[in-house]
């Protein structure tokens, strides 16, 4: 028997035999659905990698994102891994996306069974520990498999085939989703070096991962703080350096550390913050670090202002600046001191600095500040 469900949406399918003392005997239940692939295919923007050398020159990793729709028996447009344990194909989208659907194209007449049991994984890690979107079940006569992933956030998409001595062949992978907003672009940046002005710090939130970078800080323990201006629920932080960077550093949202995710390329690193709510994102190095080019902060929720306290982390702004003022008149008069302080406060506000405190101290010997 076949029933038309007229595009009903849901997670559970129940078969009920109403009445008292009834039995239900079923030999097979098949549920057919149409997965709608909406939005843009962002897969061609990424960089593909195989778990080992491709099976041949014609089956390199990039073939699976070449936007060529037609698999052939000769596999000219497919990515293929030679026989090995637990093979995988990985796509690095280079940014954090909210992914809703993935489409996998098999090789058709040749080797389509190699995809059977493969897992589609999405997340922030380069390894095969990310969340699972789907397990591919190959059906006779089918070449294209579409999967709704709900809403999964990630930078990496894996097609992973667990098992010993397996071949993996993927002819095309399409990834549908939208780029998460980099809310750091809305904020302000500060750094630990008192010798550099704020325009240098602002280079880490100008949207350019390669061309504009802050200068290297020769002092150990340098930090950079991005003030998001209001609290956000932070999903991930991405750091771009001008060269391969350091193993030991800490990224905090307010005072809570994010999880460092392993990366083969330490010039672009992603950290999982798991929805930590905060306003200040601080990158702290334990030694001299190469120039930091960009701090990207990705959030899945709108700002949560007026709900959480908006105080800076205690380590971020423990900085004192001393100004020596010389004059040919007596500055011991409190009225004169107040006038000078008022002028300094006005200048600070003119350049956008509002959170500060000015203390006045006179020199005991010369009666000068």
* Phi, psi for residue 266 in degrees, rounded to 5: -85, 10
Give the Cα separation of 210 and 13 in Å (integer): 51
pLDDT band, very low/low/confident/very high, at 14 (cuts 50, 70, 90):
confident
Please state, in angstroms and as integers, the Cα–Cα distance from residue 140 to each residue in 185, 220, 264, following that order: 49, 61, 38
Give alpha helix (H) positions in the chain: 198-201, 334-350
Q: Domain 183-299, what fold?
A: Jelly Rolls (2.60.120)
- Comparing C-alpha atoms, which of 175, 6, 3, 214 is closest to residue 96? 175
Give alpha helix (H) positions in 161-248: 198-201
pLDDT band, very low/low/confident/very high, at 263 (cuts 50, 70, 90):
low
Q: Lowest-confidence range among 46-50, 175-179, 241-245, 352-356?
A: 352-356
Domain ranges across the chain? 43-179, 183-299, 321-369
250: which residues sit within 8 A by CB, 6+ positions away?
257, 283, 284, 286
Give the Cα separation of 231 and 253 in Å (integer): 10
Q: Are strands 144-160 and 172-179 parallel, antiparallel or unpaired?
A: unpaired
Instruction: State the CATH class of domain 43-179.
Output: mainly beta
Give the Cα separation of 155 and 99 in Å (integer): 9
pLDDT tens string 151-192: 898 999 999 999 999 988 888 999 999 988 899 999 999 887
183-299 matches 43-179 in CATH topology = yes
Give the Cα separation of 346 and 160 in Å (integer): 60
pLDDT tens string 336-363: 778 888 888 887 777 667 767 777 777 6
């Amino acid at each position: 028997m076949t029933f038309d469900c007229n595009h009903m949406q849901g997670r559970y399918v129940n078969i009920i035999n109403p009445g008292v003392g009834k039995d239900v005997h079923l030999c097979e239940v098949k549920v057919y659905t149409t997965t709608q692939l909406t939005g843009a295919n962002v897969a061609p923007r990424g960089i593909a990698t195989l778990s080992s050398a491709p099976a041949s020159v014609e089956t390199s990793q990039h073939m699976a994102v070449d936007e060529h729709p037609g698999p052939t028996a000769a596999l000219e447009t497919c990515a293929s891994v030679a026989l090995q344990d637990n093979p995988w194909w990985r796509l690095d989208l280079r940014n954090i996306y909210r992914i809703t659907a993935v489409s996998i194209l098999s090789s058709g007449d040749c080797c389509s069974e190699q995809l059977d049991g493969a897992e589609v994984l999405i997340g922030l890690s380069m390894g095969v520990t990310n969340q699972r979107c789907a397990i591919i079940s190959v059906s006779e006569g089918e070449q294209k498999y579409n999967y709704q992933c709900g809403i999964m956030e990630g930078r990496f998409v894996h097609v992973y085939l667990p098992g010993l001595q397996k071949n993996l062949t993927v002819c095309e992978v399409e990834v549908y989703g939208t780029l998460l907003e980099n809310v750091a672009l809305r904020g302000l940046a500060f750094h630990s070096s008192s010798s550099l002005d704020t325009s240098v710090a602002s280079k880490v939130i100008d949207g350019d991962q390669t061309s504009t970078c802050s200068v290297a800080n020769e002092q150990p323990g340098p930090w950079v703080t991005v003030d998001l201006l209001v609290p956000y629920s932070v999903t991930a932080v991405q750091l771009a350096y001008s060269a391969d960077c350091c193993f030991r550093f800490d990224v905090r949202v307010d005072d809570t550390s994010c999880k460092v995710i392993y990366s083969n390329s330490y010039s672009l690193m992603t950290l999982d913050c798991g929805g930590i709510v905060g306003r200040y994102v601080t990158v702290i190095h334990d030694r001299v670090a190469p120039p930091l080019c960009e701090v990207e902060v990705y959030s899945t929720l709108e700002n949560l202002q007026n709900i959480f306290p908006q105080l800076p982390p205690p380590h971020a702004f423990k900085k004192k600046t001393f100004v020596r003022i010389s004059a040919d008149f007596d500055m011991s008069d409190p009225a004169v001191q107040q006038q000078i302080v008022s002028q300094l406060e006005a200048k600070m506000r003119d350049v956008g600095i509002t959170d500060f405190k000015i203390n006045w101290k006179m020199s005991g010997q010369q009666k000068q500040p």
